[in-house]
Structure 1
Amino acid sequence: MRPWILLDSATVPGGGGELRLYQRGEEFSIKIVGRGELMNSRMHGSEDALAELTCARLAACPAPRLLIGGLGMGFTLAAALQYFPEQTEIVVAELVPAVVTWNKGPLGTLSGQPLANPRVSVRAMDVARILETEEQAFDAILLDVDNGPEGLTRKENDWLYSMNGLNAAYAALRPQGILAVWSAGPDQNFQQRLHKVGFAVEEVRVRAHGKKGARHIIWFARRPA
């Protein structure tokens, strides 16, 4: 078996550790030092589903405005460009500038260079700052940050999944807008917080790779009209 080759590394702001980008043949992996693999280019079925299933729930919105929190390897963004209509505007928030650079470089070929699409704008910042400052600005907010409510990288990410963070997401959504949250696993307490904020909540289980791989969770939380 071919060995992994280290391509680059980057520090996660706020004491979140060090990310490392590896390549083995046509396969890529992003790992966090001391905590293992964060994502792999062979396993992105649930990231694709995050965009596809959100689109299905916004079918009545002809020109939605999306916020994607967490660029990762670009698969959720690429799926959003595929499934959402041409009139869609997509804002991507990515905390680690190097991840944006990787997606413009070696990772971009995996997902069809979605960052080059004119419908996409990238903000190299914490998605939390956008949620705190934007009001009724988005028809959908797709969060694929850290590992979900039980994060691996930054303690600051906990805010996104707290009552304060969920209230900010609620305020940033337009009526009938959807907050879609990816998670590595279930979290009953998080689902209860979504209900307390006022969302109508649906939990969907998806596979990491088609019908195979680990089972992940996506919550679809709709803001009422």
Structure 2
Amino acid sequence: MLTADLAPITPGAEPVTGAQHDGECIDTAAVPGGGTLRLMRFGSSFSIQLGEDELMGSDACQSEEALADLAIERMGEQHDRILIGGLGMGFTLKAALAALPASSSVVVAELVPQVVRWARAELAHLYGAALDDPRLTLDIRDVHDVIAEADGQFDAILLDVDNGPDGFIRPANDRLYCNWGLRDARRALRPGGILAVWSAYPDDAFRDRLEAAGFGVEEVELADELGADRAPYTIWLATRPLTAE
């Protein structure tokens, strides 16, 4: 189910050189609050970029899939409702749907409507049937707002909306990772629920903030599948305690 009307795509064919390695810009999308996303094609590969910085690429999906798999492994039998922040290229969503039972529901909060349009068009081959899964609800708005309105509604919250625990996409995203934002996330989870956060880099201060917000924290490093010379990814798995504190 979609909670916003989506207009048709207006594709472009803008050649890009230099830092983007002679790729073709298929389309662009304005990010609310500033910035522009670019959907790039490099031969048979696709990339979503913010300016000249790549946010995700179709050739690397293991860490995005692990974001879902690691969280669901730790949820036990408690998996009624999951929130995913950021649609991206659908890797986390597809992994979640594959691992969850038919009785579960998955909400994906996506800030940029154009990303959903890409998922239905140029990137449809990456999604398969995921967007038509009856367990899925697409909520076209800021994941922060979804979290802030929730009160013990989710068994897991999976965040992959920036390159790490800071407002990389837009400064307003800092509120997801600050002390009070993490307390909001804890309140949005049911007891025993998991907050999972993907990052391209480690951040000891963020781990400290998770613990200060009342989470039990596990930190997992994942090798970059594109090469051993690349820095590993980090996923934080923060659990809300089963008992009230």
Answer yes or no: same fold by TM over 0.5: yes
Aligned to 1:13: 32
* C-alpha distance in structure 2 between counterparts of 1:161 and 1:122, whole Å: 23
Matches within 5 A, 1:1-225: 3-15=22-34, 17-33=35-51, 35-61=52-78, 63-209=79-225, 214-225=231-242
Question: Which secondary structure does the structure 2 equivalent of 1:209 belong to?
Answer: coil
Runs of 4+ in structure 1 over 2 Å off: 207-214
Bigger share in strand:
1
* C-alpha distance in structure 1 between counterparts of 2:102 and 2:234, whole Å: 28
* Uncovered stretches (5+) of structure 2, i.e. residues with no partner: 1-20
* C-alpha distance in structure 1 between counterparts of 2:84 and 2:142, whole Å: 11
Structure 1, residues 154-213: CA drift from partner, whole Å, max 9, x if none?
000100000111010000000100000111111111100100111000000113328855
Provide the TM-score with structure 1 as the length reference. Answer: 0.93
Q: 1:216 to 1:151 in 2, by over 3 A?
A: farther
* C-alpha distance in structure 2 between counterparts of 1:154 and 1:18, whole Å: 10
Q: Which amino acid aligns with 1:37?
A: E
Kindly indicate whether the alpha-carbon contact (under 8 Å) linking 1:45 and 1:207 is maintained by their aligned counterparts in 2. Answer: no
Q: Work out which of the two has the higher radius of gyration on C-alpha atoms and give 1 or 2.
A: 2
Q: Which amino acid aligns with 2:241?
A: P
Kindly indicate whether the alpha-carbon contact (under 8 Å) linking 2:166 and 2:173 is maintained by their aligned counterparts in 1. Answer: no
* Uncovered stretches (5+) of structure 1, i.e. residues with no partner: none
* C-alpha distance in structure 2 between counterparts of 1:50 and 1:210, whole Å: 17
Question: Which secondary structure does the structure 1 equivalent of 2:224 belong to?
Answer: strand
Structure 1 residue 70: Cα displacement:
0.7
Using the aligned pairs only, state the percent identity: 49
* C-alpha distance in structure 1 between counterparts of 2:139 and 2:111, whole Å: 8
More divergent stretch after superposition (80-89 vs 121-130): 80-89
Aligned to 2:14: none
Question: Which secondary structure does the structure 2 equivalent of 1:72 belong to?
Answer: coil
Structure 1 residue 133: Cα displacement:
0.8
Q: Which amino acid aligns with 1:220?
A: L
Provide the TM-score with structure 2 as the length reference. Answer: 0.86
